[in-house]
C-alpha cells in the first residue's frame, strides 16, 4: 500500500470513528434525558398515590 493511500484510508477511518462517537454521544444524552423524565413521572405518581386527597381531585 502506498503511503498516500494509507494516509487517505486512515483519515477516512478516523472520520467515521468520530462520526460514530458523536452519534453514540447524542444517543446517550437522549437516554439520560428520557430516564430523568421517567424518574420524575414515577416520583410524581408515587407522591400522588401516597396522598389520598390528591387522588380525589
Q: What is the DSSP string of the chain?
A: --HHHHHHHHHHHHHHHHHHHHHHHHHHHHHHHHHHHHHHHHHHHHHHHH-HHHHT-
Q: What is the pTM of this model?
A: 0.66
Instruction: Indicate if the pLDDT at residue 2 is higher than 80.
Output: no
Q: What is the mean pLDDT of residues 3-22?
A: 93
| pLDDT grade for 31, boundaries at 50, 70 and 90 | very high
Q: What is the mean pLDDT of residues 8-35?
A: 97
| Residue 1 pLDDT | 65
| Residue 43 pLDDT | 95
Average pLDDT, the chain: 90
Amino acid at each position: 500500500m502506498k503511503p498516500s493511500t494509507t494516509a487517505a484510508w486512515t483519515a477516512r477511518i478516523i472520520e467515521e470513528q468520530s462520526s460514530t462517537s458523536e452519534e453514540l454521544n447524542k444517543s446517550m444524552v437522549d437516554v439520560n434525558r428520557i430516564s430523568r423524565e421517567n424518574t420524575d413521572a414515577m416520583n410524581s405518581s408515587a407522591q400522588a398515590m401516597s396522598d389520598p386527597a390528591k387522588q380525589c381531585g
